[in-house]
Amino acid sequence: MITIADSLEEGERCLTIATKYEHIFCTIGVHPHVSKNWTKGSGEKLTALVGSSQKVVAVGEIGLDYHYNNSPPADQKRAFEEQLLIAKELSLPAVVHCRDAIVDLKKIIATVDPPSLVIHCCTERWEDVESLVTAGHFLSFTGIATYPKADEIRRTIKECPMDQLMIETDAPYLAPIPHRGKRNEPAFVVEVAKLVAQIKKKSLPEVDALTTQNTMAFFRLPS
């Protein structure tokens, strides 16, 4: 299991959990919602936290969110680029959030040229992320893909190569059908796996094995 941090303070709590339990790992990063609080000192603290334990397997959740704009776009772009650079310098993957910001997101990714990243909770049209996949990056899908109006997400799943696809919960949000409206939890990720199996015309055990293999390779988890 990988628990994702949205702030440096949350990252410290995630690391405490990951340190306590052998099967839990974590990421640490500053989400675009709170990127207005990003300072030079934040970068130094993030670098220290990420480097403090092998249980930290990525920088994230970082990115851009122009839907809510809880932080000014300029602050979001600055925090995202600086954190992506930290991930590159530390040779770690990045977990990237994107909402209504794919154009600026891809510009920053092209500038930094990080070795590996995953578009977390991917809701993008295939045409908008195809170039990222071609560059070797990953897409990760959540319960939102099971919703009736999520045809574009399902088409992106169909087009995404199986060896660059992951599944996740985004818990406690986005519980999949038939649990929609409930508090999401890791057990519900099987519903996303069932959907992927249906779209890709594979068995559920195949999707289970392949997405697990992808996740372990991407985050460099011990076998």
- Pseudo-torsion of CA 127, 74, 85, 31, nearest 10°? -80
Q: Which domains can be identified in the chain, with CATH numbers?
A: 63-219 (3.20.20.140)
- Total residue count of the chain as it appears in this document: 223
Query: In this structure, are residues 6 and 38 in contact, taking their beta carbons and an 8 Å threshold?
Result: no
Distances (CA, A) of 155 to 89, 122, 159: 34, 12, 6
Residue 65's pLDDT is 98
Whether the pTM exceeds 0.85: the reply is yes
Residue 202's pLDDT is 98
Mean pLDDT, 10 residues at a time, the chain of 223 residues: 96 98 98 96 97 97 97 98 98 98 98 98 98 98 98 98 98 96 97 98 98 98 91
Residue 48's pLDDT is 97
- Quote the tokens at residue 199: 């779209």
Residue 222's pLDDT is 92
**Where does residue 72 rank: exposed (0-12), middle (13-18), buried (19+ CB within 10 A)?**
exposed
Residue 223's pLDDT is 83
Query: In this structure, are residues 23 and 55 in contact, taking their beta carbons and an 8 Å threshold?
Result: no
Q: Residue 25 and residue 22: Cα distance in Å, rounded?
A: 8
